[in-house]
Amino acid sequence: MTFSKRDFLKLGAGVAAGGLMASAAHASGEGGGSSKPAAGLSPITGDVKPITVEERQARVARAQELMGDMGISALLIEPGPAMLYFTGISWWRSERLTAVVIPVRGDIAVVTPYFEEPSVRESMTFGDDVRPWHEHESPFERVAGILKDRGLAGGKLAFEDTVRYFVVEGMKAAAPDFAIVSALPVTLGCRMYKSAAEIALMKKANEVTLKAYEHVWGTLQAGMTPSDITALMDSAQAALGGGSIWNMALLNEASAYPHGTSQPQELREGSVVLMDCGCAVEGYQSDISRTFVFGEPTKRQREVWNTVRKGQEIAFETATIGTPAGKVDDAVRAYYESLGYGPGYQTPGLSHRTGHGIGMKGHESVNFVHGEKTPLAAGMCFSNEPGIYIFDEFGVRLEDCLYMTENGPAWFTVPPESLEKPIGKMG
């Protein structure tokens, strides 16, 4: 049984079965958690500045500008990161449609069940056009009414990429004069490039996770299981003020499989401990991996760890403004192959991409992956995680996130120096 960490970045994620991963998602706010409080830790998020209404309105204006350039009449978004990004509305998905419509001109509008309207209005940060629908009525007709009222008689209706099939089909029937297209060029054109306010929130999320690692590293004990370790990390991140927490811990041979196995694992002298953890602050994610050795490392463990650390540095140095994102992956892979790993994505070696975009979702476009031609530009944010995995032995992954400035990459967290100093520091 294997669980992807993506499963734990969803709003309302719970705890994975089998102790492979543990998550305490706090969908309605920051902090809290099901684990016992971490002794000696207190929130560090009290000074964060939420995204302002003005910035959200500027995002909508930017989306409308892009929509105009692309001939898109309107954009439909369901609850999730994109809705929160543009409107500040924090909601959830159910069989009853709640959606935001961003027209190419004019104000945004919201469609929601009648009995949800008061609660939806509480979550709104701007705008007042809410179109409720009763249980016997079609929400898609409400959307069609918004399009008509905005003077949109046809054209392209764009859907954010996670919108569900029944919504698309419902809109085909309710607004047949509109062609269905992807909203990805619009949403990517806005969300890929982070503002200073977004960078600041991501820095705080990374600070929470890094401090939690420091706490957990000092409390590891022989005999612990992955669920014991993730519980420690969960409570530490919660105590520090992190929300939407997710954690993974892989021990010994399980560390050779990037997202783990269901086999029993226990911490012992010489164990490799691979952890991949994160949280959110005001909806913005951290994603940090650390690999420890419990006790004295072997020569082989140290050698692989140092190789991965060098791989991280190569990725960082390659990630210059204007460089195609895929070249970052290629540079790391070329170094690994020079040492006999691979080739390509084969193991022993680096079996996954070198990194992924990150922001309000733990995994966003674009990626550090072979063939990706998107040029790196200021405001982009990525994970940098070139692991090495040796099946039936162990794996090493070090992951720190970076953001692109006008002058090149900068670390959210600076990678650790060595196995003896395995935590790292803030950038």
pLDDT at 77 over 50: yes
Give the model's pLDDT for residue 305: 98
- Structure token digits, residue 53: 């209404």
pLDDT at 25 over 50: no
Please check whether residue 341 is in contact with residue 348, taking contact to mean a CB–CB distance below 8 angstroms: yes
Give the confidence band of 262 by pLDDT, cuts at 50, 70, 90.
confident
Give the confidence band of 32 by pLDDT, cuts at 50, 70, 90.
very low
CA distance 214 to 228: 16
Give the model's pLDDT for residue 21: 35
Select from 368, 347, 372 the least CA-distant residue to 356.
368
Pairing of strands 130-133, 155-159: unpaired
CA distance 371 to 118: 48
Please check whether residue 240 is in contact with residue 42, taking contact to mean a CB–CB distance below 8 angstroms: yes
pLDDT at 52 over 50: yes
pLDDT at 1 over 60: no
How many beta carbons lie within 10 A of that of residue 316, not counting itself? 20
Q: For 286-324, how does the pLDDT look when each residue is reduced to its tens digit (9 = 90+)?
A: 999 999 999 999 999 999 999 999 999 999 999 999 999
The residues pairing with 348 across neighbouring beta strands, listed in sequence order, are none
Give the model's pLDDT for residue 38: 80
Give the model's pLDDT for residue 26: 30
Give the model's pLDDT for residue 36: 64
Select from 4, 27, 28 the least CA-distant residue to 16.
4
pLDDT at 22 over 80: no
Q: For 266-285, how does the pLDDT look when each residue is reduced to its tens digit (9 = 90+)?
A: 999 999 999 999 999 999 99
Compute the average pLDDT of residues 35-54: 89
- Output phi, psi for 278, to 5 deg: -170, 175
Give the model's pLDDT for residue 10: 33
Name the least confident of 143-157, 228-242, 253-267, 380-394: 253-267
Give the model's pLDDT for residue 39: 76
pLDDT at 231 over 80: yes
Q: Is the peptide bond before 348 cis (omega within 30 degrees of 0)?
A: yes
Compute the average pLDDT of residues 363-371: 96
**Residue located via tokens 């990194």:** 355
pLDDT at 89 over 50: yes
pLDDT at 4 over 60: no
Element containing residue 119 per DSSP (H, E): helix 117-123
Compute the average pLDDT of residues 17-23: 31
Higher pLDDT among residues 295 and 32, named by residue: 295
Compute the average pLDDT of residues 330-347: 98
Give the confidence band of 2 by pLDDT, cuts at 50, 70, 90.
very low
- Output phi, psi for 261, to 5 deg: -140, 175
Please check whether residue 267 is in contact with residue 229, taking contact to mean a CB–CB distance below 8 angstroms: yes
Domains for the chain: give ranges and CATH numbers. Answer: 5-38+194-426 (3.90.230.10), 53-191 (3.40.350.10)
> Residue 196 burial by CB count (10 A; 0-12/13-18/19+): exposed, middle or buried?
exposed
- Structure token digits, residue 265: 């694992």
CA distance 78 to 63: 16
Give the confidence band of 14 by pLDDT, cuts at 50, 70, 90.
very low
Higher pLDDT among residues 263 and 290, named by residue: 290
Q: Name the average pLDDT for the chain.
A: 91
**Residue 175 CA, distance from chain mean position:** 33
Q: For 387-406, how does the pLDDT look when each residue is reduced to its tens digit (9 = 90+)?
A: 999 999 999 999 999 999 99
- Structure token digits, residue 401: 């996130």
Give the model's pLDDT for residue 263: 87
